[in-house]
Structure 1
Amino acid sequence: MRKRPLIVLSTVAAATLLLAGCSGDAAPDSTADPTSTPNTACMADLPSGAGSDAVVVDGEGADAKVSVPAGTEITAAERTVVKEGSGDDLHAGDLVSLRYQLVDAATSEVLASSSLGPDGVVPALLSSGQSQQQNYDLTQEFAFTAAVECAPLGSQVALALPPVQDGSNANILYVETIEKLPTTASGEDVDPVEGMPTVELDDEGAPTITIPDGDAPTETEVETLKKGDGPVVQSGDLVTVQYRGVKWSDGSEFDSSWGRGAVPAQFPTTGVVTGFKMALEGQTVGSQVVVAMPPKDGYGASEGNELQNESLVFVVDILGTTPIAQAG
């Protein structure tokens, strides 16, 4: 379903090349490919060093001021836990809320922050950076993982990132983790709509979809199964979701985050097919929706695609959304 690259924090994205190589295209091209089963090992296991240790953090929360003393040299990726939290250690695959600032190490200028999120807080899916967002050039997610992995929830961390090219400045990514977020929809149940596919959930929240008798819809139809009370998903937002997709024709599954260790997926609303986009935008975080779409809002007559001329059904748990300014 993805259409074109999105870079959330271009400076951090480029800097993650120093931490790990992100690779090519994901398949199938139905939705963003989620990360694999959560990994309890440290992915980057970065040491502290003179550069990250020199970072000064005055205060915490939305009022935190991050500065770097003049003359501080940052020549390697380093991590310093400024203040250790009291929660469980975090690992790739965790969905957390956090505050962050990306700071120019030479000037202490804030280049980017979580200020776009409600109360200056955004959700982040900690990832290995190797599969979940392969069709983006690079994203901030692996940098967040490198910053907070294997540190207790509630920690304040400074990640020092050396210059990515000649003439550029080093950066500091300062992150405060706040809480673990639910990985299934948490909203209030809504009465089902007659004629729409029905959904049953197992004990883990994984959905089973039953296609009703009758013809597939000729227009995309969206039904809210659970109504959340979180922020509203806007066009272009980076959303975090669980999902399962089946064909209307035979009910067979073609894609699912539940089949990959139940690790959520993350992608922009503008990077998916029209019917999926319609299911997301205008919904609130915590909601679960089911969408039935005709081929024109899916893959149409795309020659050779396994979903060519198929009407599709998705069940989607909306777990988080972040307003994003698209780069390039």
Structure 2
Amino acid sequence: MRFRPLVTLSLAAAAAVILAGCSGAAEPDASPSGTPGDLCVAAAPSGAASEAIQVSGDEGQPATATFSTPLDVTEVESTVVTEGSGDPVASGDYISYGLTAFDTTTGEQLGTLGYGAGELLPQQISPDSVLGQFFGCAPVGTRVATVLPSSDGESAPVAYVVDLLGVTPLTATGADQQPQAGFPTVELAEDGEPTITVPQTDPPTDVQLETLKLGDGATVEPGDTVLVQYKGVKWSDGSEFDSSWSRGMPASFPTTGVVDGFRQALENHTVGSQVLVVVPPSAGYGNAEGNELQNETLVFVVDILATQHPQAQ
């Protein structure tokens, strides 16, 4: 099986490779390639380099690793340190993970990511993703030691200890809240997709917010990059104009990359929450001359699935 070349200049650069197509992207890929069965054979083989890494520390926490330097790394290798006891992951799942990176020339720890709230967004796993090479269809709780060759022939290869922390739900999981009178009503399908019914009244002239489900995860900070499910309809006729549900995938973007009313439905809310927001033109597309939504009051229902703080990016 051939693996894509990977840039391994530093912890930040290598993490960027893992996160490519997720953090800061307008939306993830349309569909993952392969099937759950393919994922099981996608994991890179164990080899002499990955097996030489001696790992200590509790799973789910930053790891300590020792090995004789320099490691001879010529291909991607992945060795299971601890097999988890959770459910196996499947192609298309969004997984949360933590990693500790090490320079294979010096043995120096380069840093850790993903163990603190808001450090990394979940990443979709598939047979041709980097995380698919690390884990295959391993069960949640698995820890692996991996090595990645340098793609530029100059930088040192990087070794990782990576923990498969969990699978992120693709709908809001927070506690139901009492609906407010006068707001649009929301009914959820079995898969969590909302149907929004707009009241037969004049729309409000300022932004109106309602928390439908209250999550207990990390708080979205200004400038965060979020992973969300959302649907937007027009107040004027209730018609849908945009929806991650219709595309079949959650979307990822910075809170600064959306209209102000949508931003208010994200910032200072918690992961796991579902928020309804009514956005008048002044907080929407009112200044976008010629936009079809310029004069429309918009209604969004947003499920906040995960967030990544600016300092982590």
- Which interval holds the TM-score relative to the shorter structure? 0.7 to 0.9
Distance 1:129 1:245 in 2: 32
Q: State the shift of 1:303 in Å.
A: 5.3
Q: Deviations over 1:29-61 (max 9, x none)?
A: xx6346536842329543333332322211233
Distance 1:72 1:220 in 2: 57
Alignment map for 1:41-52 (pairs within 5 Å)? 41-42=38-39, 45-52=43-50
Equivalent residues of 2:93, 2:167 under 8 A apart? yes
How high is the sequence identity, in percent, across the aligned residues? 47
* Structure 2 counterpart of 1:200: 187
Aligned residue identity for 1:73 = D
Q: State the shift of 1:15 in Å.
A: 4.5
Equivalent residues of 1:238, 1:323 under 8 A apart? yes
Q: State the shift of 1:234 in Å.
A: 1.3
| Shift in alpha-carbon separation, 1:22–1:124, aligned structure 2, 3 A | closer
Structure 1: state its 5+ residue gaps. Answer: 1-8, 131-141
> Could you say what the CA RMSD is over the residues aligned between the two structures, in angstroms?
3.3
TM-score for both structures, normalised by structure 2: 0.80
Matched, 1:82 2:81: yes
Q: State the shift of 1:288 in Å.
A: 0.8
Matched position secondary structure for 1:113: strand
Alignment map for 1:233-312 (pairs within 5 Å)? 233-261=220-248, 263-302=249-288, 305-312=291-298
* Structure 2 counterpart of 1:36: 31
Aligned residue identity for 2:224 = D
Matched position secondary structure for 2:222: coil
Structure 2: state its 5+ residue gaps. Answer: 1-10
Aligned residue identity for 2:211 = T
* Structure 2 counterpart of 1:187: 174
Aligned residue identity for 2:70 = G
Equivalent residues of 2:119, 2:312 under 8 A apart? no
How many pairs does the alignment contain? 298
Q: Deviations over 1:181-218 (max 9, x none)?
A: 43222222212222322111122221101112233333
Q: Deviations over 1:223-254 (max 9, x none)?
A: 10111222211123332222212222322223
TM-score for both structures, normalised by structure 1: 0.77
* Structure 1 counterpart of 2:71: 72
Q: State the shift of 1:290 in Å.
A: 0.6
Q: Deviations over 1:66-87 (max 9, x none)?
A: 3342021223223222222233
Computing the radius of gyration over CA atoms, which structure comes out larger, 1 or 2?
2
* Structure 1 counterpart of 2:7: none
Structure 1 residue corresponding to 2:56, chosen from 55, 58, 67:
58
Distance 1:218 1:309 in 2: 12
Matched, 1:108 2:107: yes
